[in-house]
Amino acid sequence: MKRFILLAIMLLPVSLMAQIPQFSKLAEKYSDNEAVTCMTINKQMMTMFAGENEMIENLSEIEIIVTKDAAIARKVLDDTNKIVKKIDTKELISVNEDGEKFTIYTIAQNGNITNIIIAIDCTADEGESGVIVVSGNIPEEKLGEVVQIVNQ
């Protein structure tokens, strides 16, 4: 869970705006399951924690779905894969290291990245797995900063 929250916080400086309804429905689908933690961090909450910040003013929402249950994680990740195949995503990076797999997808529109989808699969080592969806309007030149943060 700490990894998900840390990753979400690291992505906060990126300016964001748009949502992906399919992931909101995915969070809804698993929200009643006790083995799953679903979090939606909206602009108001981010402002409360980060204070007034010009980048946060453009921030809309981050959705996080996480579980330690391998069977449920597999379902969440399978659903995530189905969603990324249906919508116009581009796989930006895929890292498979020490039983953990991180895949980052992006959705671009008008030269800006409107969404970053991070699928995290740690089922091999019984770690927390899930998906983080960062929605917004990210200038392509800022994407390198996000990738550097994720690779650290």
The 3-state secondary structure of 55-88 reads CHHHCCEEEEEEECCHHHHHHHHHHHHHHHHHCC
Note whether 10 and 41 are within 8 A (CB): no
How many separate domains does the chain show? 1
Hey, how many other C-beta atoms are within 10 angstroms of the C-beta on 69?
17
What range defines the domain where residue 124 resides?
Answer: 2-151
Model confidence over 30-75: pLDDT tens digits? 888 999 999 888 877 867 766 665 555 555 778 899 998 999 999 9
pLDDT of residue 18: 46
Please give the helix or strand (H or E) that residue 28 lies within, else none. helix 21-30
